[in-house]
Amino acid sequence: MKSSTLALTGLIFAVSMTTIDQTIVALSAPSIQQNLGLTHDGMQWAVNVYLLTTAAFFLLGGRVADVVGHKRMALVGIAGFGVTSLLCGLAPTGDLAEPWLVTARALQGVSGAIMFPAAIGIVVEGFARESRGRAMAIFFAITGAMTALGPIAGGYLTVWTWRAIFWVNVPIAVAAFVIVAIAARPSVRRRERIDWLGAVIVAGGMGLVVFGLQQASPWGWANPAVIGSLVLGAALLVLFVVVQRRSGHPLIRIAAFRDRGFTLSTVATLFASIAFISTFFFLSVYGQVSLQLSAAETGLLFLKFFIGFVIASRIGSVRFDKHGARGVVLLGGIVGAVGFGWLATTATDLSIHADAFFNPQTWPILVAGAGIGLMFSPVSTDAVNRAIGASYGEVSAITQTMKNFGGALGLAVFTTVVTSRLTDLLTASFAKFGGTAADAQSAVERISGASGDSGSGLSTLPQAIQEQIMHAVRSDYASAVQWAFWGMAAAMAVVAVVGLLYPAGRTSLPEDAAPASEPTADTATV
């Protein structure tokens, strides 16, 4: 096996850890919350903080990789991800559980942000220009598919112990580290400054926006802290753009957005990720609460999504190679919007055999997965092709920031909407059977944390009443989660609009363009 192919294999192993961990925790949330005694907000942050820190530090990770060297930073990121995964799995019970797990997950996200853009640089530098496009397509297709595979694996690992979903990363990290250390080309150091001020500003801006959206549900939209977080976060993001335009060594070159195709590819990635990443959390809760499935059985829902994603991803890659990104972005947006809209209309049908592979909800889940699969890998590859004059780490950092920020944004917004709707529905349902508003709120917190144990607050009521209330819990959550699925359909409809605006024609890595990260007179091999 050629060293470049071996390095690609190691990098796919490494980056797949980061994409799997975007979604695998959602399915295991019930076991984690119950075993560690986490609060609803604590469990929500354990899911969301990974996406948030990855998005917040991706731009810095890309810049550091370009300056310090891709191979060196890839190895740092792989080692960091392995160590932080071990720490996640070692989370203690008791008062330390919540801060331990959230902190370890945040550091996991930072490690992923260091690793991913460095990996892109190694892939691009390791292949000749005539084979580079194929290598990039393989890289994005496989690592993207791993996002959907995560919850499937998580369902089976959780049967043993929820800690296994983190510990499984350790041997993968060791193998990836050894392969990349042996097979990847030597790193290149560039004598340039790093915009630390810009990194702080963009991390603060993204963090405050997502924090404000996340806390809008428990605190209320009119809460001064929520409004202040959203306003200050948006202001920091605007300030970041201003700082980047004036900086001599910016984290990102704003000029890259002069290419309409590149700008639209990042917008498509953002909105597709709002639907894509959110799907796994809400399907997990829906499967375990409304359909009364076990964690392993809920994995079947994700398997259906994964099948649609993989088949369509192959079709999308072929069409992209022949015709460019416009058609697959448009088609992916339309198919995704139809799939998620269809899923929303079938969500309240609880009379189905939920544990059967083929049922009325199989097809909308397949179609939703196919919509995202059609366009996800092509837009990532197209973005790199269009902005290759900047740098590989920089360009991949922009697109992956949009992916992770979109995921965090979607989770925050949809969680707020679903929780608000669920609270109203359960309060009304509980009142019919003698339950109180406090009982309803307790059930909402358990359900929102993906726990099926939503009736513990009703132990003083007669058994018959408890059973009626539990039925109400199932149906009310199904009604509430419809809003999230409709939101995902709307996000994919925006992707379809982006497809209409997308420039026609194929793009490819320029034959005569030297990558910004290749050695020059001002660089040194390390």
pLDDT tens, 141-193? 777 677 667 767 776 777 788 898 899 899 999 999 999 999 988 876 777 78
190 phi/psi in degrees, rounded to 5: -115, 135
Work out the percent of the chain whose per-residue pLDDT is above 90: 29
Tell me, what CATH number does 70's domain have? 1.20.1250.20
The more confidently predicted of residues 277 and 134 is 277
Same domain (yes/no): 173, 203: no
Q: Across the chain, what does the average pLDDT equal?
A: 82
Work out the percent of the chain whose per-residue pLDDT is above 70: 86
Q: Please state the rounded mean pLDDT for residues 352-373.
A: 88
Same domain (yes/no): 349, 223: no
Q: Please state the rounded mean pLDDT for residues 241-260.
A: 82
Question: What crossing angle do the helices spanning 24-36 and 295-323 adopt, rounded to 10°?
Answer: 160
Same domain (yes/no): 137, 217: no
Domain-located, residue 396: yes
- In tens, the pLDDT along 273-324 reads 999 988 988 988 898 888 888 777 787 888 899 899 889 988 988 888 888 8
Last residue of a domain, one of 250, 271, 292: 250
CA distance 131 to 143: 19
Q: Which helix (H) or strand (E) holds 401?
A: helix 392-432
Grade residue 524 by pLDDT with cuts at 50, 70 and 90: very low
Same domain (yes/no): 78, 186: yes
Domain-located, residue 436: no
The per-residue pLDDT for 340 is: 97
CA distance 461 to 55: 46
- In tens, the pLDDT along 37-46 reads 887 778 878 8
Same domain (yes/no): 309, 219: no
CA distance 473 to 478: 9
Domain-located, residue 280: yes
Grade residue 25 by pLDDT with cuts at 50, 70 and 90: confident
The per-residue pLDDT for 525 is: 40
The residue among 160, 86, 123, 116 whose CA lies nearest residue 22 is: 116
Write a three-state SS string for 302-349. Answer: HHHHHHHHHHHHHHHHHHHHHHEHHHHHHHHHHHHHHHHHHHHHHCCC
Asked if pLDDT for residue 18 goes beyond 70, the answer is yes
CA distance 448 to 15: 29
The residue among 297, 295, 299, 289 whose CA lies nearest residue 453 is: 289
Last residue of a domain, one of 217, 250, 283: 250
Domain-located, residue 86: yes
Asked if pLDDT for residue 484 goes beyond 80, the answer is yes
CA distance 171 to 176: 9
Same domain (yes/no): 487, 347: yes
CA distance 400 to 129: 23
Same domain (yes/no): 404, 303: yes
Same domain (yes/no): 125, 150: yes
Last residue of a domain, one of 224, 250, 276: 250
- Distance from the Cα of residue 212 to its chain's centroid: 19
Domain-located, residue 99: yes
Domain-located, residue 437: no
**Total structural domains within the chain:** 2
Domain-located, residue 441: no
The per-residue pLDDT for 31 is: 79
Contact 71, 122 (CB under 8 A): yes
Grade residue 519 by pLDDT with cuts at 50, 70 and 90: very low
Same domain (yes/no): 403, 417: yes
CA-to-CA separations, 410 to 224, 311, 331, 402, in angstroms, rounded: 22, 25, 22, 12
Structure tokens at 516: 């910004």
Same domain (yes/no): 236, 108: no
Residue 226's domain comprises 195-250
Q: Please state the rounded mean pLDDT for residues 501-526.
A: 52
Contact 122, 199 (CB under 8 A): no
Same domain (yes/no): 355, 256: yes
Q: Please state the rounded mean pLDDT for residues 464-493.
A: 88
The per-residue pLDDT for 502 is: 92
Grade residue 523 by pLDDT with cuts at 50, 70 and 90: very low
Same domain (yes/no): 309, 238: no
Burial 96-107 (b: 16+ CB within 10 A, else e): ebbebbbbbbbb
